[in-house]
Structure 1
Amino acid sequence: MDIDGRVQTHSTSVPPGSRPAQGFEEWQRQLRRICGSFAIRPASAAPAFSGYAGRLDFGGLEVARIRSNVAALARGRRQARNEQDYCYLILQLAGHQHIVAENQATIELRPGEMAVLDSAQPFEMILHGGVDNLSVHLPRRLLATRLKRPSMTLKLETARASSLMLGAMLARLGQLDPSYRASSEEGRGFRAALLELLPSTLASPDPCLPTSSGHDLYLQACSLIETRLHEPALDAMWLAQILGISRRQLYRLFAERGEPGVTRFIQDRRLDRAAGLLREGRLGAGSISALAQQVGLDDAAHFSRVFRRRFAMSPSHYRNQ
């Protein structure tokens, strides 16, 4: 464990004994076979796809190794409704990601950190560059009796002795050759040890419990907007779905705080972000079209119009002032 409590994973670029990185279609097929159905959003500005999806049967306990440089993996309502037998116990081996689940605090994972994801709940995994995860699939029914939580999508504490033990066990699984054959007795014992350790790795009170406070929901909405400004798909419908509320409730949250509306708020934040990039000179001599795309607006002409309306000058003049 390192100085801030995270497990030292010592991840390698390719799992021991595995094949080289797979092509996108093969990776997608293996991911569906091992972990179920996900909607996949490729990275918009990245090198060629790189990924690996492999499975280890550890005495009846399913262990997955998933590497990828896609932008996001999303588990929608239909997948959550049809495939809910397992929860994913994840150890982040490399990379950085955010996990957004309905009506819950966003989970951030860095190397050595762990989380449980509930297969019966919609969620989205937002990957910031290449990510390497180890995932152990635990029966949802057994986990529910152990955790006794209204939600089983949550981040595990790292600065605890039980977390160190759990992380070390998972890291050791990631070092096994895929050809390793564990006995069913070994698999049952390992699963029992994981289930026994998990409850003591949870924070109390649980920071991921759904919040009923309108103020908390408003802050969550603002946080989601800030982290997704570069995404054209960011809109009121997406926000309401992630927060687990209706669009009418979402509009009311913003109206009660004097905001002109959710759509206008998002647009203003996009424009403010663009203005900040221009002030900092981070666009350089780049095109206004490229700037618009950085803040989630694909139509450069529309971007220039709304920018001029907000700042009384064009983006080019704003950059040169």
Structure 2
Amino acid sequence: MNKVITTDQYHRDDRLLAWADQVRASCVPMVFRTESNQGFRGEISSVNTGEVCVSRIAAVDHIAAHDWEEVRRTADDYLLVSIQVEGRGAIEQDARTAFVAPTDMVLFDSSRNFVWHFSGTHYTIRFPRKALQNLVPCGRQHTAVTIPAATGLRKIAADHIATLHRELSLDNGTVACRARLTDVTANLVALALADYFNTIALPNSNVKEMHLLRARTLIKDRIHEPELGPEQIADELGVSSRYLYRLFAEVGESIGEIICTTRLNGCAEWLQQRAFANRSITDIAMVWGFNNASHFSRTFRRHFGMSARDYRAKYRDAV
């Protein structure tokens, strides 16, 4: 059943409180601030597909904060996706700000604080974490990122959300299939997010291939971080370490060896270049994520058949 709340039915002094109650029910608890001299005005229209709540929200410009106190008050663990329809807004989370214009999407996480600079109209889809986390990476690097949704898979997902909200609002015979729509909606939104985050190589890629591709991307992007390892990558992907090890083993690879080899190759490339001739070998090793000079020396010699010092000399003499 479609639930529509408009602040016009409340006294001006009660509108923000009524708004907060409805936002808590359809999204997550938040505290609000507005500087409008005309008073707060907004409308929320919410429908449910079983576990997924889809809301069409329109309001005057305001700021909504899901701070640590509100995080503690959130009964369940949610991932939320917003699709801007009109106006321009912004969401801050995990030290980033996503500025969104019409058709843009953004992912945010109820388990951590965020600030929403709200303007115009948008759809917000609230997923239980379990509905999305096994379909697509939903780590900290994916939140508060502007995701253009004007074309391709992302447009299909955005159009699906709008159509879903409209049809469920009419309540014309769709009640029986609402539970099925939960899986359809989660899969379609996951495909749209994965499409943007470059986790799908081919249209027929499955979830395992998405996880493999995203894991390799994480290794490339964060190889300079000493703490990077299988456990951290598994955490970012929202999967277990055991699953991640098995995933690479199925394609005849070791994720630990991939990380080590990537670091060694990066060090070797720098040792070959005159631009890094004044940097010590230990410094280069540390930049590429090694945190122990003796371990680096042994590993480098075993991989390249010579010491890092001899390797640098070999290429220096060749110039």
Matched, 1:112 2:107: no
* RCO comparison, higher one (Cα < 8 Å, 6+): 1
The residue that corresponds to 2:41 in the other structure is 50
Instruction: Choose which of 15, 23, 32 in structure 2 pairs with 1:31.
Output: 23
Q: Structure 1 or 2: larger helix share? A: 2
The residue that corresponds to 1:287 in the other structure is none
- 1:107-256 to structure 2, matched below 5 A, reads 107-127=98-118, 130-151=119-140, 152-153=142-143, 154-158=145-149, 160-176=151-167, 178-180=169-171, 181-182=174-175, 183=177, 184-202=179-197
Cα distance, 1:199–1:37 mapped onto 2, change above 3 Å: same
- Cα RMSD for the two superposed structures: 3.1
Return the offset for 1:76: 0.5
Q: Which stretch has the larger CA shift, 148-157 or 165-174?
A: 148-157
Residue type matched to 1:122 in 2? Answer: N
Tell me, in whole angstroms, the C-alpha distance in 2 between the residues paired with 1:45 and 1:29: 20
Q: Which runs of 5+ in 1 are unaligned?
A: 1-15, 214-321
Cα distance, 1:39–1:17 mapped onto 2, change above 3 Å: closer
Matched, 1:78 2:78: no
Question: What secondary structure does 2:132 align onto?
Answer: helix
Q: Which runs of 5+ in 2 are unaligned?
A: 200-216, 226-319
TM-score, length-scaled by structure 1: 0.52
Question: What secondary structure does 2:139 align onto?
Answer: coil
**Is the CA contact 1:59–1:188 (under 8 Å) kept in the aligned structure 2?**
no
Tell me, in whole angstroms, the C-alpha distance in 2 between the residues paired with 1:123 and 1:29: 18
**Is the CA contact 2:82–2:123 (under 8 Å) kept in the aligned structure 1?**
yes
Return the offset for 1:86: 0.9
Q: Deviations over 1:238-266 (max 9, x none)?
A: xxxxxxxxxxxxxxxxxxxxxxxxxxxxx
The residue that corresponds to 2:86 in the other structure is 94
Q: Which stretch has the larger CA shift, 176-185 or 30-39?
A: 176-185
Question: What secondary structure does 1:53 align onto?
Answer: strand
Tell me, in whole angstroms, the C-alpha distance in 2 between the residues paired with 1:133 and 1:40: 17
Q: Deviations over 1:85-138 (max 9, x none)?
A: 11111111112111111322x1001111111111112110113xx421211111
Q: Deviations over 1:30-58 (max 9, x none)?
A: 1122222101112x244232101232012
Tell me, in whole angstroms, the C-alpha distance in 2 between the residues paired with 1:50 and 1:90: 20
Question: What secondary structure does 1:175 align onto?
Answer: helix
